[in-house]
Amino acid sequence: MYSEKVMDHFENPRNVGEIENANGIGQVGNPSCGDIMKIYLVVEDNIIKDIKFKTFGCGAAVATSSMVTELAKGKTLEEALELSNAAVAQALDGLPPKKMHCSNLAADALHAAIKDYQEKHKSA
């Protein structure tokens, strides 16, 4: 049912945890399935220097959270904003149709964290 990459990111998730001094935080949830994702960013010179996540949800939700952090780390904010739900699923070699909403949450959480950072750091 799940690809080897999905299973690897579920069993060995990357970038799990909280960043105490995060300068961008995004949280999204899906009430129909109960999944909740929170992403923490440290942005320096428009680059995502550190990124961590906390996810409450199914294996696919954990795997997509892990993958989106791997895809976004080291990217500019503009590059990270271009990461789509489809790109997250593709990077995991696909997800079952019933679990595609999990990849939507991962990209949405990343975008919410970036928007939070941008709101906090608007030029005066």
Q: Which residue has the tokens 């919410």?
A: 112
Q: Which of 19, 25, 33, 47 is catalytic?
A: 33
Give the Cα-Cα-Cα angle 6, 48, 118 (nearest 5 degrees). Answer: 115
Q: Give catalytic status of residue 58 as yes or no.
A: no
Nearest to 71 by CA among 58, 53, 96: 53
Q: Which residue's entry shows tokens 């959480």? A: 109
Which of the residues 43, 88, 102, 107 is marked catalytic?
102
80 forms beta bridges with none
* Cα 74 from chain centre: 14
How many H-runs (helices) and E-runs (strands) does the chain carry?
5, 3
**Active-site residue numbers?**
33, 102
